Amino acid sequence: MSPFPSVLRVLASALLLLHPPDFRREWRAEYRRAVAHRWRLEVERGRRGARTRVALVLLTDALSSLPREWWDALAGGPDRRRAPGSTADAPRRPGSGVGVADWLNGWLRDLRVAARSLARRLGFSTLVVLTLALGIGANASIFGVLDQVILRPFPFEGGDRAVYIMDHSPARGFTFSPTQAEYERWKEGARTLEALEALQAGAATLTGRGPATVVERTFVSLGLPAMVGARPVLGRSFAPDDAAPGAPPVVMVDEDHWRSAWGADPYVVGSTVTLSDEEHTVIGVWPSDARIQVDGDPDFFGVLPPGEELDRSSFSILLGRMVEGVGLDEVEAELAALQSTLEEDPGASSSSKMVPRVMAPYSFLGDAFVSGLWILFAGAGLLLAIAAVNASNLLLGRAVDREAELGVRMALGGSPGRLLRRFLLESVLLAGAGAVLGMALASLGGTVLARLAPSDVPAAAFTDFGAAVPHYTLLLVAAVAVTCAAVPALHLRSSRVRSLLSTRDASSSGSRSRLRSGLVAVQVALAVVLVIGSGLTLRSLQRLTSIDPGFAADEVAILTVRVPERRYPTETERSAFYDRVAESLEGMPDVRSSSASWVIPLSYSIRSGEAYLDGEEAPDGEGVFLSTGGIAPGFLETLDIPLLEGRDFTPEERAAPGESGVAIVNRAFAARYPGSVVGRELRFTSAGPEEELRRIVGVVGDVRAHSLTDEPGRVQVYYPEQGGGDRSAQRFLVRAAGEASALIPLVRSRIAALDPQVAVTGARTGREMIRAATEDERFLALLLAVLGTLSLLLAVGGVYGAVSLHVSRRTRELGIRVALGAGTERLVRDVVARGLRPVVLGILFGAGGALLLVRFVGGVLYETSAVDPVAFVGASLLLIAAAVAAALLPARRVTRVAPVEALRAE
């Protein structure tokens, strides 16, 4: 017989204590016996984890029975019947139910008194509530985003263990879809994964319901809906028959899309939609809370055929669920080991070797955004701290006003505990009201934030608050209330009570004003940190936006034309259509030049490899990362990339790109070698594992190939391309004679005139592309600036309050000095100087703290050192200037002090 564990005994006693006293008295023995009984039952079931199971039962039981029992205890009346023959140990006190109600009533009465006293000073209370609302609201809002994006991005069971898995080429630095063989091997053999399924995000053209639009469609493997608990809102999920070869095509429609585009039509199941010119039957509605992608919102879902889920020509990823207690590294190691048991592809070279990469879902949103979120979270925490300190300072001021009253109470025997309770209740009320207002602000702000946020973050992250947010807010309220209550209460307890009765501005005021100054200094220090952080991100953003992208961004427009495959089934037809589009574009009066090119700057359509001049040494190490791409006719002129030496490709070279044996390099490559590189041979690898040998025919200017933050010395190698194409979509670059944005609608109507069933997507100007590339940084800088401004306002508000109080308290002394002939100007300067002392102290501490903390921000800064002197000095000056202004306003009241009045005032 296993001994009853002491931890359970303690837990049971504690839980029993939480019950109403009557319940305890009557059922104490039974309760204990029931716990022991439960222990025996669980041990019979299995010794392992019995303790946990029992604890769980006890806790959940307490959670559900406590409210009921307390309700009964308080509302219970004379019809309560005691069970006869009870084994209660102690004799029952008559009317014991009233004792509980009494205690509760005491609290309620204090609560009412606190509320009334706050209502009496409505202006003050409103100020505190607003201050706290700002801090709490900002925190709740950002925590909500953090929760939805990082902590629990997938609401399904075990969603916090969900991972994405892809193949990664360390040599090339890019990720690819895994292979079918890898998928099957991992699925059957991986012990660190509970489940593994595949998904493939893509687009399709929707026709037949208004003008042709492009919709997002994600294909999923058969087991995926069950894995993520996606129970259809209507209809059914995918069945094996749907994925069989030759089966009629089916789709599930996403719930959000169904509500917005179909008006939540209850008969949608069984209807047909035309996607990419193929009729699909709708079999069900996919629930919107079964999210499987962090950076996309599919409108439709399709099914992948089993055995062929991973088709390398489309980008697929695997969605897995780790077993509990396992980390990303362990999963990666196991998958790599399983992968090595597969047959090696004989043609593969070491440079195209792939290793599995296991990542947390939110990493799809980019490091910049994720780090930015954490930084904002810290910033909001700082803001809340400032708000709480500000509020406690205000409350301290108020408490002091009641010192005399409190002194009388305490001298007459009132308990300090009662005092604390009063303060606590006031703080709780203020913090609670602040939280309510703050949450309202947060949800209002949520819609604004959603619009400003980077486009790949789902808007729901800002507007749908998960269950965690209210809990977190409650935590904040508790913390703030305790802080705000503790400061004045502790101060009052420490000051000698009896001295309060005799003097007013006596000794305690010295320590009090030191405390107040200290609080101001704390606020300023925290504000300095935020303002410096904000300054750093602004500097970084400014540097980013002033990068020269290497092409004429303002005049260029980019768009993708997508043809439905049914109407253009052969390559010839598609290619012919694209040629017609190109011709039509060239003929437009506002178009300076155009190019049918899949390759565009600032995108990952340019791949990487190694390159060096034939005859020279190969670059040491893994090889220089370079960008390669095909240049279609018109690419250079359309983008206005300067041709520095040599020539562009000829049509003959373009017609046979594989045999042409020519290449164009960029300035950075040419700069590595003395003399001209034109005419010399180039060795490089790009698509295939073999090295290619090509003759350099021209040198062009540098372009930002992947992102704005590419290293400037990156080598770019271009090979000739036919332009146009025969795929289902083709990208076009257009250079406008004037503004690119005005050109886009004209181009759309031109193409619609050629064929209205063809969809035009992704139409944007070069400038918009660049803006999109800095979305994350801009979002972070903007929000941090808002936080910084708010913190600045709060901190200098604190300064204002402190100086103002000082002036009103020292009216008599100041009056005397004026009467004795002191210049008012001199007095004002003295007052301001005194008010600035804590500010200077705060700035010093804050700047010091910032030096320690900014290393965390360094990761998101571009070309800006974390200890950028401009940001530090600028922030300090800004704070001093603001503090001086805030101190001057009340200080100037000194000039209006009439000495006689001052002497009389007391």
Partner 1 sequence: MASRDEALPRSSFLILLALADRPRHGLGIVEEVEARTGGEVKLGPGTLYGTLKRLLRRDLIAEAPTAPDPRDDDPRRRYYRVTPEGFVALRAEAERLRNLVAVAEGKDVLGEGA
Residues near partner 1 (CB under 8 A): 12, 15, 19, 23, 26-27, 30-31, 33-35, 37-38, 41, 45, 57-58, 60-62, 64-66, 68-69, 72, 79-81, 83-87, 236-237
Is residue 756 within 8 Å of 604, Cβ to Cβ?
Answer: no
In the complex, what is the shortest distance from the CB of residue 156 to partner 1, in angstroms, rounded to a whole number? 17
**Angstrom distance (rounded) from CA 28 to CA 32:** 6
Kindly tell me which of 242 and 692 has the beta carbon lying closer to partner 1. Answer: 242
Is residue 886 within 8 Å of 806, Cβ to Cβ?
Answer: no
Kindly tell me which of 284 and 438 has the beta carbon lying closer to partner 1. Answer: 284
Other Cβ atoms closer than 10 A to 794: 22
In the complex, what is the shortest distance from the CB of residue 53 to partner 1, in angstroms, rounded to a whole number? 8
Kindly tell me which of 91 and 658 has the beta carbon lying closer to partner 1. Answer: 91
Is residue 48 within 8 Å of 1, Cβ to Cβ?
Answer: no
Task: For residue 897, give the 3-state DSSP assignment.
Answer: coil
In the complex, what is the shortest distance from the CB of residue 88 to partner 1, in angstroms, rounded to a whole number? 11
The burial class, CB within 10 Å (0-12 / 13-18 / 19+), for 786 is middle
In the complex, what is the shortest distance from the CB of residue 594 to partner 1, in angstroms, rounded to a whole number? 53
In the complex, what is the shortest distance from the CB of residue 225 to partner 1, in angstroms, rounded to a whole number? 11
Kindly tell me which of 46 and 123 has the beta carbon lying closer to partner 1. Answer: 46
Which ranges of 413-467 would DSSP assign to H, the alpha helix?
Answer: 416-452, 460-463
In the complex, what is the shortest distance from the CB of residue 223 to partner 1, in angstroms, rounded to a whole number? 15
In the complex, what is the shortest distance from the CB of residue 87 to partner 1, in angstroms, rounded to a whole number? 6
**Angstrom distance (rounded) from CA 737 to CA 717:** 29
User: Which residues, in sequence order, are bridge partners of residue 683?
Assistant: 612, 693
Kindly tell me which of 53 and 680 has the beta carbon lying closer to partner 1. Answer: 53
Other Cβ atoms closer than 10 A to 864: 22
Closest among 426, 537, 508 to 864, alpha carbons compared: 537
Closest among 223, 220, 228, 229 to 252, alpha carbons compared: 220
In the complex, what is the shortest distance from the CB of residue 4 to partner 1, in angstroms, rounded to a whole number? 14
In the complex, what is the shortest distance from the CB of residue 69 to partner 1, in angstroms, rounded to a whole number? 5
The burial class, CB within 10 Å (0-12 / 13-18 / 19+), for 442 is buried
Is residue 424 within 8 Å of 110, Cβ to Cβ?
Answer: no
In the complex, what is the shortest distance from the CB of residue 95 to partner 1, in angstroms, rounded to a whole number? 18
Kindly tell me which of 91 and 325 has the beta carbon lying closer to partner 1. Answer: 91
Kindly tell me which of 81 and 116 has the beta carbon lying closer to partner 1. Answer: 81
**Angstrom distance (rounded) from CA 872 to CA 851:** 9
In the complex, what is the shortest distance from the CB of residue 19 to partner 1, in angstroms, rounded to a whole number? 7
**Angstrom distance (rounded) from CA 807 to CA 815:** 11
In the complex, what is the shortest distance from the CB of residue 28 to partner 1, in angstroms, rounded to a whole number? 10
DSSP conformational letter for 607: B
What is the H or E stretch that residue 802 is in? helix 775-809
In the complex, what is the shortest distance from the CB of residue 649 to partner 1, in angstroms, rounded to a whole number? 59
Q: Which amino acid is at 206?
A: L
User: Which residues, in sequence order, are bridge partners of residue 595?
Assistant: 733
In the complex, what is the shortest distance from the CB of residue 27 to partner 1, in angstroms, rounded to a whole number? 4
Kindly tell me which of 76 and 99 has the beta carbon lying closer to partner 1. Answer: 76
DSSP 231-242: --SEE----GGG
**Angstrom distance (rounded) from CA 237 to CA 283:** 7
In the complex, what is the shortest distance from the CB of residue 242 to partner 1, in angstroms, rounded to a whole number? 13
Kindly tell me which of 48 and 81 has the beta carbon lying closer to partner 1. Answer: 81
Kindly tell me which of 72 and 554 has the beta carbon lying closer to partner 1. Answer: 72
Is residue 234 within 8 Å of 269, Cβ to Cβ?
Answer: yes
**Angstrom distance (rounded) from CA 318 to CA 199:** 6
Kindly tell me which of 62 and 487 has the beta carbon lying closer to partner 1. Answer: 62
Kindly tell me which of 34 and 746 has the beta carbon lying closer to partner 1. Answer: 34
Other Cβ atoms closer than 10 A to 479: 14
**Angstrom distance (rounded) from CA 801 to CA 695:** 75
Is residue 564 within 8 Å of 513, Cβ to Cβ?
Answer: no
Closest among 839, 885, 844 to 523, alpha carbons compared: 839
DSSP conformational letter for 151: I
Kindly tell me which of 12 and 481 has the beta carbon lying closer to partner 1. Answer: 12
Is residue 281 within 8 Å of 272, Cβ to Cβ?
Answer: yes
Kindly tell me which of 90 and 122 has the beta carbon lying closer to partner 1. Answer: 90
Kindly tell me which of 19 and 398 has the beta carbon lying closer to partner 1. Answer: 19
Helix, strand, coil fractions of the chain, as percent rounded to 5: 55, 15, 30
830-to-291, 297, 520, 797 alpha-carbon distances in Å: 63, 62, 18, 19
**Angstrom distance (rounded) from CA 692 to CA 674:** 22
